[in-house]
Amino acid sequence: MKKFPKPAVVTSKCFEFDACRYNGVMIPNNFVQKLEPFVKFIPVCPEVEIGLGVPRDVIRVVEKKGKRLLIQPTTGKELSKKMYKFSDSFLGSLDTVDGFILKSRSPSCGIKDAKIFSDSENPSPIGRGPGLFAEKVLEKYPGSAIEDEGRLMNFTIRESFLTRIFTFARFRETKEKKTIKALVDFQSDNKFIFMSYNQTEMRKLGKIVGNQDKKPIEDVISEYEEHLNKALSKTPRRSTHINTLMHALGYFSKKLTSKEKAYFLDLLENYRNHKIPLSAVITVLQSWIIKYDEEYLERQTYFEPYPRQLIEISDSGKGRT
Ligand code: SF4
């Protein structure tokens, strides 16, 4: 059984942790529940932290002359300064963080779909955007695994989120060792993941660990981390997964019968046409990795990037890739 480090994940506290919503309720969330034994959650409710009680009157994002304000219409309170101050100090206090699960549509936590109004009275929104706490998260952690519960209903987005948080957690362990050898091993073991996400960045990462200029290890780690975030910033497409799987198939080209190869190519076609999940193709490859004792592939995190218990192929159908 593979061992996995525990990613540190900041989550909106109203998911499963506290009845802190404006109306005094807690929101049940299966994904957060399921993830609980495998990650270190850091729950936070920014609205409670800035002193708004539970229950409380609603607040809204108002945009005036290009400036975003957080207003409580019933009291006329303007809370932006407090919210930005809290967000900066909270995010600045975090030692390590590998991902965020935030509440959609919230004027504080929503990552892109909080309603934006032209003033505190007008009931019709003029657009949507991030809430004020999420705005600071996106600013401080560009390229990080930041999702809301709605997007995580989609299988592909959820799979990529899990892959990213567990890869970032493995990288944290790697960088603590502060050696080029540890970085080289990390690059080698995660190569197929990088191949499926972003081949250009994969090559850059390879160059960085090569360290031709003999830079100090701290500089190499920091440059590597920057490009690791870039490499994993976009959910992979089916076509890049197929390229990666074809590359893996190459390791068995002399060992498989023509019927076995044809069967695999047929599976890939079904995957390309959305008829089967990626895991169905990977399972076949894994059986060959075991049968032929293919050590290099066995070490590849691509084939098991996060604990199997977290695989859940239910899908909202939204945002398919
Ligand atoms: S969405 Fe954010 S601010 Fe609102 S209750 Fe949940 S944690 Fe608190």
Secondary structure of 255-312 in HEC code, one letter for each residue: CCCHHHHHHHHHHHHHHHCCCCCHHHHHHHHHHHHHHCCCHHHHCCHHHCCCCHHHCC
| Confidence grade of residue 286 (pLDDT, cut at 50, 70, 90) | very high
Q: What is the pLDDT of residues 170-193, one digit of tens each?
A: 999 999 999 999 999 999 999 999
The model carries a pTM of 0.94
**CA neighbours closer than 13 Å in the CB half-sphere of residue 110:** 16
CB 180 within 8 A of CB 220: yes
CA trace torsion 262, 263, 264, 265 (10° rounding): 50
Q: Which of 159, 171, 168, 188 is nearest to 298 (CA)?
A: 188
pLDDT recorded at residue 120? 84
Q: Which of 46-50, 129-133, 150-154, 316-320 has the lowest mean pLDDT?
A: 316-320
Contact between residue 292 and residue 252 where contact means Cβ atoms under 8 Å apart? yes
Q: Is the pLDDT of residue 320 over 60?
A: no
Taking CB atoms and a 6 Å cutoff, what residues make up the pocket around ligand 1? 12-14, 20-21, 45-47, 103, 106, 108-109
Residue minimizing CA distance to atom 8 of ligand 1: 45
Q: Which atom of ligand 1 has the smallest separation from the CA of 46?
A: 3
Tens of pLDDT, residue by residue over 71-85, are 999 999 999 999 999
Question: Residue 98's pLDDT band (boundaries 50, 70, 90)?
Answer: very high
Amino acid at 9: V
The confidence score (pLDDT) of residue 306 equals 95
User: Which ligand 1 atom is at minimum distance from the Cα of 43?
Assistant: 7
Q: What percentage of residues in the chain have a pLDDT greater than 90?
A: 89
Q: Is the pLDDT of residue 321 over 60?
A: no
Report the atom number in ligand 1 closest to the C-alpha of 48: 8
